[in-house]
Amino acid sequence: MELKKLLQHWNSFPEVSMEERPVLSSDLEKIVVKNPLSDAFYLRKKLVIRIAVIAGLWLINTWQFRHEWITQGNELYPQGALFVLLLGSLYFHIRLLLFADYPTLLALPLLNFLNKLETVLDKFILSFKFISALAGFYLLFGVEGLLARISSGAAETLSRNDWYKWLILIFLSVSVDILLLHTLIPRYRKLTDTVKKYRDGIVSKAQNK
């Protein structure tokens, strides 16, 4: 590749025809407020929705946990575990949102930008583990509620037997995790791998120079 030849080609470029040229002046007001990141890379909305939902669930759980604590109910330990899990999930999601810092993300130098993008996507994939665990808890409560309606005897046995409860909880959480691994996660995994491959390509090219 000869730089002089390329420069010659570059300087002989005609202007883009008017019909192809993106309009700048009249659309500038609209363009500057547009979000430059596509949905695949922009996880802010998803994170905010999750934070709002988890915060709501945590408030409800706090009240239920307090009630179980006062009455020394059968659900004290599951509610306690759920309290810790919701708090952990809330912390993780808020931290991820603050770390991503979308308004300044595109102002980073290329490598730092790609590194950060990869970390955010990686942590977002990790956040599905929290979702699986939370889904396990709420599905368990759903199963308990259903049993209470269908067979009060079975519901009573389950509520008194902690081992069954924890085993069902683990089974449900792992099932949801496997479901997510095959439905939602591959999309993000593919995206992370592509970003990583691209970054590694840039780095290896730079190192070879």
Partner 1 sequence: MNNSTKKDGPDTDLRSLLKHQHKRVYSICRLFAHNYREHQHLFTNIIAAASQNIRTRKDNSDDKQTMLLRACINMAALHSISLELEPAVDRSIQFKSPDYQRSMTNFREAMGGVSDLEKFRLFLEFEKVAPEEMAGLTGITLGSRNLNRKKEPDTTRKNFIPYLKEKLIWS
Q: Is 115 in the site for partner 1 (CB under 8 A)?
A: yes
Site for partner 1 in 38-97 (CB under 8 A): 38, 40-41
Site map (CB under 8 A) of partner 1, residues 173-192, x = contact: -----------------xx-
Q: Is 109 in the site for partner 1 (CB under 8 A)?
A: yes
CA distance 206 to 209: 5
Cβ neighbours of 57 (radius 10 Å)? 18
Q: Is 33 in the site for partner 1 (CB under 8 A)?
A: yes
Nearer to partner 1, 65 or 130 (CB): 130
Strand runs labelled E in the chain: none
Shortest separation between residue 25's beta carbon and partner 1, angstroms: 7
Six-digit token string for 194:
């592509």
Which residues 6+ apart lie within 8 Å of 168 measured at CB? 140, 143, 158
CB 136 within 8 A of CB 85: no
Q: Is 113 in the site for partner 1 (CB under 8 A)?
A: yes
Backbone φ and ψ for 59, nearest 5 degrees, come out as -65, -45
CB 106 within 8 A of CB 36: yes
Six-digit token string for 154:
């079975």
Shortest separation between residue 184's beta carbon and partner 1, angstroms: 16
Shortest separation between residue 109's beta carbon and partner 1, angstroms: 3
- Binding residues for partner 1, per CB under 8 A? 1-3, 5-7, 9-10, 12-17, 19-20, 22, 24-25, 27-29, 31-38, 40-41, 99, 103-104, 106-115, 119, 123, 190-191, 194-195, 197-198, 200-203, 205-207, 209
